[in-house]
Amino acid sequence: MEYPIRINKYLRDKGLASRRESDKLVESGLVFVNGKRADNGAMINEKDNVIVKKPKGLIAKEYKYLAYYKPRNLSTQDLPGKESVITLFRKDGVYPIGRLDKSSEGLLLLTNDGRFARKVLSVDSKYEKEYLVTVKEPLRVGVVKIFKEGMDTQALGKLLPAKSRIVNNNKIQVILNEGKRHQIRVMFNELSYTISSLKRVRIGDIKIGDLKSGETRPIKISYNN
**Residue-level pLDDT, tens digit, the chain, 225 residues:** 688 999 988 887 776 777 888 888 899 899 999 999 999 899 999 999 999 887 765 556 788 999 999 999 999 988 788 899 999 998 998 999 998 999 999 999 999 988 888 888 887 778 899 999 999 999 999 999 999 999 999 999 999 999 999 999 999 999 999 888 899 999 999 999 999 999 999 999 999 999 999 999 999 987 554
Residue 60 lies in a domain: no
What pLDDT is recorded for position 131?
98
Residues 100 and 166 placed together within one structural domain of the fold:
yes
Same domain, 110 and 43: no
Global pTM reads: 0.76
C-alpha torsion sign, points 140, 145, 148, 151? negative
The tally of domains found in the chain comes to 2
Please report whether residue 57 resides in a domain.
no
Indicate if 33 and 69 belong to the same structural domain.
no
- Contacts (Cβ under 8 Å, ≥6 apart) of 88: none
Looking at residue 225, its pLDDT comes to 43
CB 74 within 8 A of CB 84: yes
Q: Examine the domain organization and report whether 154 and 48 are in the same domain.
A: no
Q: What are phi and psi of 116, to 5 degrees?
A: -65, -40
Contact 4, 41 (CB under 8 A): no
